């Protein structure tokens, strides 16, 4: 059907029977997609049985997205890992207070249901499995405003015993900061990457590390918390880098002195910096620079903590800083 949008249309006179698909929403395609999703229940609300054994359980929730990393996935035609990113960004946030993630919900908005959505959902399912959370529901919306683009959001809830909440209040001078490695950019800083691609006339910025999924730190942190009580603070290093995120877990009057030479910055960050002629301080406050998560422990427990982390799923970790009084 061709339509002159400048003129009113008499549907009955023209013999046109309007349906939802013509208006931009394919109900049948949406139903088929939903049927393929392995969620715990198909009702209107996702349900989850609160675990037993807690004296004063506290629920912890977080929501996040993947930002403009989705543009890289679209340009590359590869959506297989972006769902993992979505889960990671949410679960990595809520574990910073000591919570165990329980369940996850997603929101996907797109112009139409097509082959990209099953790829994204496969990543979400994989991320949930690795993080040990249950996918209990979500929403898929068809919206003409997105044209060929897709937008993603995730929501996660976890649980922690009230007396075991990690809020940074126990952090003191001389405690040390342990940095856990990132797998690359994770899901932050892609606006710079996309801008570089446009200005350098690259079509899109192609690099094998750009679509590496965000590290899910849940198994490592859960094991660390089971092995030692003296974890005083944690930070998920996302947009804003270490300078913006680490202070969020510190008590007033304290700061972290970071040794920026304590680890080797991955080559992908150096390449972006060279091609964009980006200032060093700007790099620090935009990108994670190879540190995706920070843990603060007493100095006399640092080696033990790092041994636990290294013995788990991560290749390495580093003592990257010390807590001191603000001058």
pLDDT band at 276 (very low <50, low <70, confident <90, very high): very high
Identify whether residues 116 and 255 lie together within a single domain: no
- DSSP β-bridge partners for residue 286: none
pLDDT exceeds cutoff 70 at 30: no
Quote the pLDDT of residue 212. 94
Identify whether residues 126 and 209 lie together within a single domain: no
Quote the pLDDT of residue 3. 57
Quote the pLDDT of residue 7. 74
pLDDT band at 238 (very low <50, low <70, confident <90, very high): very high
What is the number of domains present in the chain? Answer: 2
Q: What one-character DSSP code corresponds to residue 312?
A: T
Identify whether residues 153 and 194 lie together within a single domain: no
Identify whether residues 22 and 152 lie together within a single domain: yes
Quote the pLDDT of residue 83. 97
Q: What is the pLDDT of residues 203-229, one digit of tens each?
A: 555 677 889 999 999 999 999 999 999
Whether 171 is in a domain gets the answer: no
Identify whether residues 141 and 185 lie together within a single domain: no
Q: Between helices 82-94 and 116-131, what is the axis angle to 10°? A: 30
Residue 103 three-state SS: strand
Q: What is the pLDDT of residues 177-192, one digit of tens each?
A: 999 999 999 999 999 9
Identify whether residues 230 and 255 lie together within a single domain: yes
Mean pLDDT rounded to a whole number for the chain = 90
In whole angstroms, what is the distance from residue 99 CA to residue 184 CA? 25
In this prediction, residues 270-291 reach a mean pLDDT of: 95
Quote the pLDDT of residue 146. 67
Identify whether residues 194 and 316 lie together within a single domain: yes
Quote the pLDDT of residue 95. 98
Q: What one-character DSSP code corresponds to residue 213?
A: P
What percentage of the chain exceeds 70 in pLDDT?
A: 87
Last residue within a domain, chosen from 164, 199, 223 = 164
CATH of the domain at 259: 3.90.650.10
Residues 159, 100 contacting (CB under 8 angstroms):
yes
Whether 135 is in a domain gets the answer: yes
CATH of the domain at 75: 3.30.1330.10
pLDDT exceeds cutoff 80 at 41: no
Last residue within a domain, chosen from 136, 164, 192 = 164
Identify whether residues 191 and 314 lie together within a single domain: yes
Task: For residue 3, count other CB atoms closer than 10 A to its CB.
Answer: 10
pLDDT band at 12 (very low <50, low <70, confident <90, very high): confident
In whole angstroms, what is the distance from residue 101 CA to residue 218 CA? 8
Range of the domain at 211: 176-325
In this prediction, residues 31-48 reach a mean pLDDT of: 72
Q: What one-character DSSP code corresponds to residue 165?
A: -
In this prediction, residues 242-246 reach a mean pLDDT of: 98
pLDDT exceeds cutoff 60 at 151: yes
What b/e string do you get for 160-186 counting C-beta neighbours within 10 Å, with b at 16 or more? beeeeebebeebeeebbbbbbbbbbbb
- DSSP β-bridge partners for residue 325: 254
Long-range pairs of 64-67 with CB within 8 A, sequence gap ≥ 24: 64/89, 64/90, 64/93, 64/153, 64/154, 65/89, 65/151, 65/152, 65/153, 65/154, 65/187, 66/152, 66/187, 67/187, 67/188, 67/190, 67/191, 67/239
pLDDT band at 262 (very low <50, low <70, confident <90, very high): very high
In this prediction, residues 106-117 reach a mean pLDDT of: 90
Q: Residues with Cβ < 8 Å from 148, sequence gap 6 or more?
A: 74, 111
Identify whether residues 159 and 181 lie together within a single domain: no
Q: What is the pLDDT of residues 62-94, one digit of tens each?
A: 999 999 999 989 888 999 999 999 999 999 999
Q: Residues with Cβ < 8 Å from 225, sequence gap 6 or more?
A: 98, 231
Last residue within a domain, chosen from 131, 164, 197 = 164
In this prediction, residues 227-242 reach a mean pLDDT of: 97
Least confident of 23-32, 45-54, 235-244: 23-32
């Amino acid at each position: 059907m061709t339509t002159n949008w400048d003129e009113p249309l008499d549907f009955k006179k023209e013999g046109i029977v309007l349906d939802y698909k013509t208006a931009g929403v394919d109900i049948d395609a949406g139903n088929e997609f939903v049927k393929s999703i392995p969620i715990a229940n198909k009702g209107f609300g996702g349900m989850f049985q609160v675990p037993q054994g807690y004296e004063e359980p506290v629920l912890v929730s977080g929501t996040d997205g993947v930002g403009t990393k989705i543009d890289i996935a679209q340009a590359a035609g590869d959506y297989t890992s972006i769902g993992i990113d979505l889960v990671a960004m949410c679960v990595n946030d809520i574990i910073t207070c000591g919570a165990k993630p329980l369940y996850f919900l997603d929101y996907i908005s797109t112009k139409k249901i097509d082959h990209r959505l099953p790829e994204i959902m496969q990543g979400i399912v994989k991320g949930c499995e690795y993080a040990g959370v249950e996918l209990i529901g979500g929403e898929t919306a068809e919206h003409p405003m997105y044209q060929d683009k897709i937008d993603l959001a995730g929501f996660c809830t976890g649980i922690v015993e009230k007396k075991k909440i990690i809020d940074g209040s126990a952090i003191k001078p001389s405690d040390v900061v342990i940095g856990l490695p990132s797998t690359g950019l994770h899901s932050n800083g892609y606006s710079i990457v996309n801008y570089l691609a446009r200005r350098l006339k690259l079509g899109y910025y192609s690099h094998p590390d750009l679509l590496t999924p965000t590290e899910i730190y849940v198994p490592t942190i859960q094991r660390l918390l089971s092995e030692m009580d003296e974890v005083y603070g944690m930070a998920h290093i996302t947009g804003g880098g270490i300078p913006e995120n680490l202070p969020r877990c510190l008590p007033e009057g304290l700061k972290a002195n970071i040794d920026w030479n304590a680890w080797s910055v991955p080559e992908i960050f150096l390449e972006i910096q060279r091609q964009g002629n980006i200032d060093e301080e700007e790099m620090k406050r935009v990108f994670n620079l190879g540190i995706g998560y920070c843990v603060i422990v007493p100095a006399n427990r640092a080696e033990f903590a790092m041994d636990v982390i290294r013995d788990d799923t991560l290749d390495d970790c580093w003592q990257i800083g010390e807590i001191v009084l603000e001058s």
